[in-house]
A = this chain, B = another copy of it.
Amino acid sequence: DLRPQENYFSSEMLDRLSEKRTDKVWLEVKQSDPDTVYLLFSGLSPMVGGSQEDQETRDETKLCRFRYEAVKDLILKPATVLIFLGVEKRKTASSSSQSGELGQEAPAWFAVSTDQDTAELLKRSREKNCFFPKTPNRDLLNLSEEEAGVVAQARSVLAWHSRYSFCPTCGSSTELQDGGYRRSCVNSDCRSLQGVHNTCYPRVDPVVIMLVIHPDGNQCLLGRKKIFPVGMFSCLAGFIEPGETIEHAVRREVEEESGVKVGPVQYVSCQPWPMPSNLMIGCFAVAISTDIRADEKEIEEARWFPRQQVIDSVFGGVRTGLTVPPRQTIAHQLIRHWIGVNSNL
Protein backbone atom coordinates (compact mmCIF):
# COMPACT_ATOMS: atom_id res chain seq x y z
CA ASP A 1 0.00 0.00 0.00
CA LEU A 2 2.92 2.32 -0.68
CA ARG A 3 1.46 5.40 -2.27
CA PRO A 4 3.15 6.14 -5.57
CA GLN A 5 4.06 9.70 -4.66
CA GLU A 6 6.13 8.50 -1.71
CA ASN A 7 9.82 9.27 -1.88
CA TYR A 8 12.55 6.67 -1.62
CA PHE A 9 13.73 6.20 2.02
CA SER A 10 10.21 7.24 3.18
CA SER A 11 8.52 3.88 3.47
CA GLU A 12 7.69 2.76 7.01
CA MET A 13 7.27 -0.98 7.15
CA LEU A 14 7.96 -1.04 10.89
CA ASP A 15 6.02 0.33 13.80
CA ARG A 16 8.70 1.97 15.95
CA LEU A 17 6.91 1.18 19.23
CA SER A 18 8.85 3.94 20.94
CA GLU A 19 7.21 3.18 24.29
CA LYS A 20 9.06 -0.17 24.34
CA ARG A 21 12.48 1.47 24.13
CA THR A 22 12.62 1.90 27.88
CA ASP A 23 11.24 -1.57 28.58
CA LYS A 24 14.45 -3.57 29.08
CA VAL A 25 12.68 -6.81 29.82
CA TRP A 26 10.55 -6.65 26.69
CA LEU A 27 13.59 -5.74 24.58
CA GLU A 28 15.59 -8.67 25.93
CA VAL A 29 12.80 -11.10 25.25
CA LYS A 30 12.55 -9.78 21.71
CA GLN A 31 16.29 -10.00 21.18
CA SER A 32 16.35 -13.74 21.67
CA ASP A 33 13.07 -14.36 19.88
CA PRO A 34 13.70 -16.69 16.90
CA ASP A 35 11.43 -14.53 14.70
CA THR A 36 13.47 -11.39 15.32
CA VAL A 37 15.31 -9.96 12.30
CA TYR A 38 18.82 -8.51 12.62
CA LEU A 39 20.51 -6.25 10.07
CA LEU A 40 24.30 -6.07 10.19
CA PHE A 41 26.18 -2.80 9.58
CA SER A 42 29.88 -2.15 9.25
CA GLY A 43 31.16 1.37 8.74
CA LEU A 44 27.51 2.44 8.33
CA SER A 45 27.02 0.09 5.37
CA PRO A 46 24.43 -2.66 5.66
CA MET A 47 25.36 -6.19 4.71
CA VAL A 48 23.54 -7.07 1.51
CA GLY A 49 22.92 -10.28 -0.37
CA GLY A 50 23.29 -11.65 -3.85
CA SER A 51 26.65 -12.42 -5.32
CA GLN A 52 29.13 -9.64 -5.63
CA GLU A 53 29.74 -10.43 -9.31
CA ASP A 54 26.13 -9.76 -10.29
CA GLN A 55 26.40 -6.28 -8.87
CA GLU A 56 26.25 -4.59 -12.25
CA THR A 57 23.29 -6.54 -13.54
CA ARG A 58 21.22 -6.88 -10.39
CA ASP A 59 18.34 -4.43 -10.39
CA GLU A 60 17.69 -4.63 -6.66
CA THR A 61 20.00 -4.89 -3.67
CA LYS A 62 18.63 -7.01 -0.81
CA LEU A 63 19.48 -6.69 2.87
CA CYS A 64 20.85 -9.81 4.57
CA ARG A 65 18.53 -10.73 7.42
CA PHE A 66 20.00 -12.59 10.37
CA ARG A 67 18.47 -14.52 13.24
CA TYR A 68 19.44 -14.35 16.89
CA GLU A 69 21.62 -17.47 16.68
CA ALA A 70 23.88 -15.83 14.09
CA VAL A 71 24.47 -12.61 16.00
CA LYS A 72 24.15 -13.55 19.66
CA ASP A 73 27.90 -13.50 20.36
CA LEU A 74 28.35 -10.31 18.40
CA ILE A 75 25.72 -8.33 20.25
CA LEU A 76 27.38 -9.11 23.57
CA LYS A 77 30.65 -7.41 22.58
CA PRO A 78 31.11 -3.99 24.16
CA ALA A 79 31.91 -2.23 20.86
CA THR A 80 28.67 -3.41 19.27
CA VAL A 81 25.82 -0.93 18.90
CA LEU A 82 22.35 -2.44 18.98
CA ILE A 83 19.32 -0.43 17.84
CA PHE A 84 15.70 -1.46 18.23
CA LEU A 85 14.02 -0.51 14.96
CA GLY A 86 10.44 -1.61 15.65
CA VAL A 87 8.09 -4.45 14.86
CA GLU A 88 6.57 -5.36 11.52
CA LYS A 89 3.30 -3.58 10.89
CA ARG A 90 0.33 -5.90 10.74
CA LYS A 91 -1.22 -5.93 7.34
CA THR A 92 -4.75 -6.80 8.52
CA ALA A 93 -7.53 -4.24 8.24
CA SER A 94 -7.95 -3.99 12.01
CA SER A 95 -4.20 -3.62 12.42
CA SER A 96 -3.30 -2.57 15.90
CA SER A 97 0.07 -0.94 16.33
CA GLN A 98 0.45 -2.75 19.62
CA SER A 99 1.35 -6.35 19.96
CA GLY A 100 -1.80 -8.27 19.15
CA GLU A 101 -4.26 -9.60 21.66
CA LEU A 102 -3.91 -12.79 19.68
CA GLY A 103 -0.81 -13.67 21.65
CA GLN A 104 1.11 -13.70 18.39
CA GLU A 105 3.48 -10.81 18.24
CA ALA A 106 4.85 -9.28 15.08
CA PRO A 107 8.56 -9.88 14.46
CA ALA A 108 10.91 -7.26 15.86
CA TRP A 109 13.82 -5.76 13.89
CA PHE A 110 17.19 -4.67 15.23
CA ALA A 111 20.23 -3.09 13.61
CA VAL A 112 23.68 -4.19 14.77
CA SER A 113 26.74 -2.10 14.05
CA THR A 114 30.21 -3.31 14.74
CA ASP A 115 33.80 -2.35 14.15
CA GLN A 116 34.79 -6.01 13.98
CA ASP A 117 36.84 -7.17 11.06
CA THR A 118 34.49 -7.58 8.12
CA ALA A 119 36.02 -10.87 6.96
CA GLU A 120 35.30 -12.19 10.40
CA LEU A 121 31.73 -10.92 10.18
CA LEU A 122 31.19 -12.61 6.87
CA LYS A 123 32.36 -15.91 8.29
CA ARG A 124 29.91 -15.52 11.12
CA SER A 125 27.09 -14.77 8.77
CA ARG A 126 27.21 -18.36 7.56
CA GLU A 127 25.25 -17.26 4.55
CA LYS A 128 26.88 -17.36 1.19
CA ASN A 129 26.68 -14.33 -1.04
CA CYS A 130 26.52 -11.76 1.70
CA PHE A 131 28.84 -8.77 1.48
CA PHE A 132 29.34 -5.17 2.46
CA PRO A 133 28.94 -3.11 -0.71
CA LYS A 134 32.03 -1.46 -2.10
CA THR A 135 30.04 1.50 -3.37
CA PRO A 136 27.65 1.90 -0.45
CA ASN A 137 26.05 5.10 -1.68
CA ARG A 138 24.99 3.47 -4.92
CA ASP A 139 23.82 0.30 -3.25
CA LEU A 140 21.79 2.20 -0.69
CA LEU A 141 19.76 3.53 -3.62
CA ASN A 142 19.01 0.07 -5.02
CA LEU A 143 16.99 -1.38 -2.18
CA SER A 144 13.29 -2.10 -2.30
CA GLU A 145 11.14 0.80 -1.08
CA GLU A 146 10.45 -1.04 2.18
CA GLU A 147 14.05 -1.93 2.95
CA ALA A 148 15.16 1.59 2.03
CA GLY A 149 12.87 2.94 4.73
CA VAL A 150 14.37 0.64 7.34
CA VAL A 151 17.90 1.54 6.27
CA ALA A 152 17.08 5.26 6.49
CA GLN A 153 16.15 4.82 10.13
CA ALA A 154 18.97 2.43 11.05
CA ARG A 155 21.77 4.26 9.28
CA SER A 156 20.82 7.69 10.69
CA VAL A 157 20.75 6.42 14.25
CA LEU A 158 23.99 4.48 13.82
CA ALA A 159 25.72 7.50 12.27
CA TRP A 160 24.70 9.51 15.32
CA HIS A 161 26.25 6.92 17.66
CA SER A 162 29.44 6.84 15.63
CA ARG A 163 29.88 10.65 15.83
CA TYR A 164 28.36 11.45 19.22
CA SER A 165 29.95 9.02 21.64
CA PHE A 166 31.21 11.83 23.92
CA CYS A 167 29.05 14.25 25.85
CA PRO A 168 29.13 17.63 24.09
CA THR A 169 28.32 19.40 27.36
CA CYS A 170 31.23 18.10 29.44
CA GLY A 171 33.40 15.88 27.22
CA SER A 172 32.86 12.67 29.21
CA SER A 173 31.90 9.34 27.70
CA THR A 174 28.26 8.52 27.22
CA GLU A 175 26.37 5.27 27.27
CA LEU A 176 23.68 4.01 24.99
CA GLN A 177 20.16 3.68 26.42
CA ASP A 178 16.53 3.34 25.37
CA GLY A 179 17.05 0.73 22.68
CA GLY A 180 19.60 2.98 20.98
CA TYR A 181 17.56 6.21 20.95
CA ARG A 182 19.36 7.95 23.76
CA ARG A 183 22.92 8.48 24.99
CA SER A 184 23.43 9.59 28.51
CA CYS A 185 26.51 11.14 30.08
CA VAL A 186 28.42 8.93 32.56
CA ASN A 187 29.58 11.99 34.55
CA SER A 188 27.03 12.32 37.32
CA ASP A 189 27.77 16.05 37.74
CA CYS A 190 26.98 16.85 34.12
CA ARG A 191 24.40 19.54 33.38
CA SER A 192 22.99 17.31 30.65
CA LEU A 193 21.53 15.06 33.37
CA GLN A 194 19.36 17.86 34.76
CA GLY A 195 16.24 18.37 32.71
CA VAL A 196 15.74 17.30 29.10
CA HIS A 197 18.43 18.28 26.58
CA ASN A 198 18.84 17.52 22.93
CA THR A 199 22.44 16.40 23.51
CA CYS A 200 20.99 13.05 24.61
CA TYR A 201 18.93 12.43 21.48
CA PRO A 202 19.75 11.59 17.87
CA ARG A 203 20.21 14.55 15.61
CA VAL A 204 18.10 15.20 12.52
CA ASP A 205 19.25 18.06 10.27
CA PRO A 206 16.48 19.78 8.33
CA VAL A 207 17.54 20.82 4.83
CA VAL A 208 15.53 22.75 2.25
CA ILE A 209 15.68 21.54 -1.35
CA MET A 210 13.82 23.55 -3.91
CA LEU A 211 12.90 23.72 -7.54
CA VAL A 212 13.04 27.40 -8.43
CA ILE A 213 10.56 28.30 -11.15
CA HIS A 214 11.17 31.18 -13.55
CA PRO A 215 8.64 34.03 -13.39
CA ASP A 216 7.53 32.97 -16.90
CA GLY A 217 6.55 29.56 -15.49
CA ASN A 218 8.35 27.74 -18.27
CA GLN A 219 11.89 27.39 -17.01
CA CYS A 220 13.43 26.05 -13.85
CA LEU A 221 16.71 26.82 -12.11
CA LEU A 222 19.15 23.98 -11.62
CA GLY A 223 22.72 24.06 -10.39
CA ARG A 224 25.71 21.78 -10.35
CA LYS A 225 28.45 21.17 -7.84
CA LYS A 226 31.95 20.44 -9.04
CA ILE A 227 31.72 16.86 -7.82
CA PHE A 228 28.68 16.08 -10.02
CA PRO A 229 29.14 13.89 -13.10
CA VAL A 230 29.44 15.86 -16.34
CA GLY A 231 26.10 17.29 -17.49
CA MET A 232 24.28 16.64 -14.22
CA PHE A 233 22.29 19.47 -12.68
CA SER A 234 20.03 19.32 -9.65
CA CYS A 235 17.85 21.40 -7.37
CA LEU A 236 19.52 23.89 -5.06
CA ALA A 237 19.55 22.89 -1.39
CA GLY A 238 20.90 23.98 1.96
CA PHE A 239 20.73 23.50 5.70
CA ILE A 240 18.04 25.34 7.63
CA GLU A 241 19.78 27.60 10.13
CA PRO A 242 18.82 28.30 13.76
CA GLY A 243 15.94 30.75 14.02
CA GLU A 244 14.85 30.30 10.43
CA THR A 245 11.64 29.08 8.82
CA ILE A 246 11.53 26.69 5.87
CA GLU A 247 10.42 29.54 3.61
CA HIS A 248 13.19 31.89 4.72
CA ALA A 249 15.81 29.19 4.34
CA VAL A 250 14.62 28.61 0.76
CA ARG A 251 14.94 32.31 -0.05
CA ARG A 252 18.32 32.66 1.64
CA GLU A 253 19.91 29.57 0.11
CA VAL A 254 18.65 30.34 -3.41
CA GLU A 255 19.96 33.88 -3.21
CA GLU A 256 23.28 32.74 -1.72
CA GLU A 257 23.85 30.02 -4.29
CA SER A 258 22.45 31.63 -7.44
CA GLY A 259 21.75 35.31 -6.76
CA VAL A 260 18.11 34.73 -7.75
CA LYS A 261 15.41 36.23 -5.51
CA VAL A 262 12.45 34.08 -4.53
CA GLY A 263 8.88 35.11 -3.73
CA PRO A 264 6.23 32.46 -2.95
CA VAL A 265 7.40 29.12 -1.55
CA GLN A 266 5.26 26.01 -1.48
CA TYR A 267 6.00 22.82 0.43
CA VAL A 268 5.69 19.71 -1.76
CA SER A 269 7.03 16.64 0.10
CA CYS A 270 10.00 15.54 2.14
CA GLN A 271 12.55 12.75 2.27
CA PRO A 272 14.77 11.34 5.01
CA TRP A 273 18.31 11.21 3.64
CA PRO A 274 20.49 9.05 5.88
CA MET A 275 23.89 10.46 4.86
CA PRO A 276 24.12 10.92 7.75
CA SER A 277 20.75 12.13 9.01
CA ASN A 278 19.14 14.87 6.94
CA LEU A 279 15.48 15.61 6.47
CA MET A 280 15.15 17.00 2.95
CA ILE A 281 12.18 19.37 2.83
CA GLY A 282 11.16 19.72 -0.82
CA CYS A 283 9.57 22.95 -2.07
CA PHE A 284 8.62 24.85 -5.18
CA ALA A 285 9.91 28.41 -5.15
CA VAL A 286 8.79 31.10 -7.58
CA ALA A 287 11.58 33.44 -8.66
CA ILE A 288 11.02 37.18 -8.68
CA SER A 289 14.35 37.95 -10.39
CA THR A 290 16.19 36.07 -13.10
CA ASP A 291 19.84 37.20 -13.19
CA ILE A 292 22.16 34.44 -12.08
CA ARG A 293 25.32 35.02 -10.08
CA ALA A 294 26.43 31.56 -8.92
CA ASP A 295 28.26 31.26 -5.63
CA GLU A 296 31.63 29.94 -6.83
CA LYS A 297 32.36 28.20 -3.56
CA GLU A 298 29.42 25.83 -3.58
CA ILE A 299 27.97 25.86 -7.08
CA GLU A 300 29.99 25.51 -10.25
CA GLU A 301 27.17 26.65 -12.47
CA ALA A 302 23.49 27.50 -12.18
CA ARG A 303 21.26 27.88 -15.21
CA TRP A 304 17.64 28.29 -16.28
CA PHE A 305 16.46 25.22 -18.20
CA PRO A 306 13.45 25.36 -20.52
CA ARG A 307 10.63 22.98 -19.72
CA GLN A 308 11.03 21.00 -22.94
CA GLN A 309 14.70 20.29 -22.30
CA VAL A 310 13.86 19.06 -18.81
CA ILE A 311 11.08 16.83 -20.14
CA ASP A 312 13.37 15.34 -22.79
CA SER A 313 16.02 14.72 -20.19
CA VAL A 314 13.74 13.13 -17.58
CA PHE A 315 11.92 10.91 -20.04
CA GLY A 316 15.20 10.01 -21.69
CA GLY A 317 15.97 8.99 -25.20
CA VAL A 318 16.95 12.49 -26.17
CA ARG A 319 20.48 13.89 -25.84
CA THR A 320 19.88 17.22 -24.20
CA GLY A 321 23.12 17.99 -22.42
CA LEU A 322 21.21 17.78 -19.17
CA THR A 323 21.14 14.85 -16.74
CA VAL A 324 19.02 15.04 -13.61
CA PRO A 325 19.61 12.97 -10.45
CA PRO A 326 18.09 9.46 -10.25
CA ARG A 327 14.45 8.77 -9.37
CA GLN A 328 15.35 7.89 -5.75
CA THR A 329 16.18 11.53 -5.00
CA ILE A 330 13.63 14.10 -4.00
CA ALA A 331 15.30 16.47 -6.49
CA HIS A 332 14.19 14.14 -9.29
CA GLN A 333 10.68 13.93 -7.87
CA LEU A 334 10.38 17.71 -7.53
CA ILE A 335 11.45 18.15 -11.15
CA ARG A 336 9.03 15.48 -12.31
CA HIS A 337 6.22 16.93 -10.26
CA TRP A 338 6.82 20.35 -11.85
CA ILE A 339 6.66 18.82 -15.31
CA GLY A 340 3.46 17.03 -14.36
CA VAL A 341 1.50 19.81 -12.76
CA ASN A 342 2.32 22.57 -15.18
CA SER A 343 2.16 20.95 -18.56
CA ASN A 344 -0.11 18.76 -20.64
CA LEU A 345 2.00 15.62 -20.42
**How many whole Å from A326's CB to the nearest CB in chain B?**
19
Q: Which residues of A in the span 159-192 have a Cβ within 8 Å of any Cβ on B?
A: 160, 163-173, 181, 191-192
Q: Within the oligomer, what is the number of copies of this chain?
A: 2
Q: Which residues of A in the span 239-292 have a Cβ within 8 Å of any Cβ on B?
A: 239-248, 252, 255-256, 267, 269-272, 274, 276-277, 279, 281
Q: Which residues of A in the span 277-329 have a Cβ within 8 Å of any Cβ on B?
A: 277, 279, 281, 295, 297
**A243 touching B153, Cβ below 8 Å:** yes
Question: Contacting A242 at CB < 8 Å: which of B160, B197, B198, B243?
Answer: B160
A332 on interface, CB distance cutoff 8 Å: no
Instruction: Report chain B residues within 8 Å CB of A155.
Output: 243
CB nearest to A16 among chain B residues: B252
Q: A206-B204, A206-B206, A239-B201 are in contact. Are A168 and B164 (CB under 8 A)?
A: yes
**B163 touching A166, Cβ below 8 Å:** no
Q: A156-B242, A206-B279, A241-B202 are in contact. Are A171 and B169 (CB under 8 A)?
A: no
Q: A9-B243, A206-B206 are in contact. Are A167 and B169 (CB under 8 A)?
A: no
Q: A199-B163, A205-B204, A252-B16 are in contact. Are A172 and B169 (CB under 8 A)?
A: no
CB nearest to A167 among chain B residues: B166
**A149 touching B243, Cβ below 8 Å:** yes
State which size class the interface on A falls in.
Answer: 35 or more
- Residues in chain A within 8 A of chain B (CB atoms): 7, 9-10, 12, 16, 18-19, 97, 149, 152-157, 160, 163-173, 181, 191-192, 197-199, 201-206, 239-248, 252, 255-256, 267, 269-272, 274, 276-277, 279, 281, 295, 297
Q: 25 pairs across A/B with beta carbons < 8 Å?
A: A7-B245, A9-B243, A16-B252, A19-B295, A19-B297, A97-B255, A152-B243, A153-B242, A163-B198, A163-B199, A164-B168, A166-B166, A167-B168, A167-B171, A171-B171, A198-B205, A201-B239, A203-B242, A204-B206, A204-B244, A206-B206, A242-B272, A243-B272, A243-B274, A267-B267
> Which 7 pairs from chain A and chain B are nearest by CB?
A153-B243, A156-B242, A166-B171, A152-B243, A164-B168, A267-B267, A171-B171
Known: A16-B252, A19-B297, A164-B168. 15 other contacts (CB 8 A): A12-B244, A18-B252, A19-B295, A153-B244, A163-B191, A165-B169, A166-B166, A198-B277, A203-B203, A204-B244, A240-B279, A242-B274, A244-B272, A245-B269, A246-B279
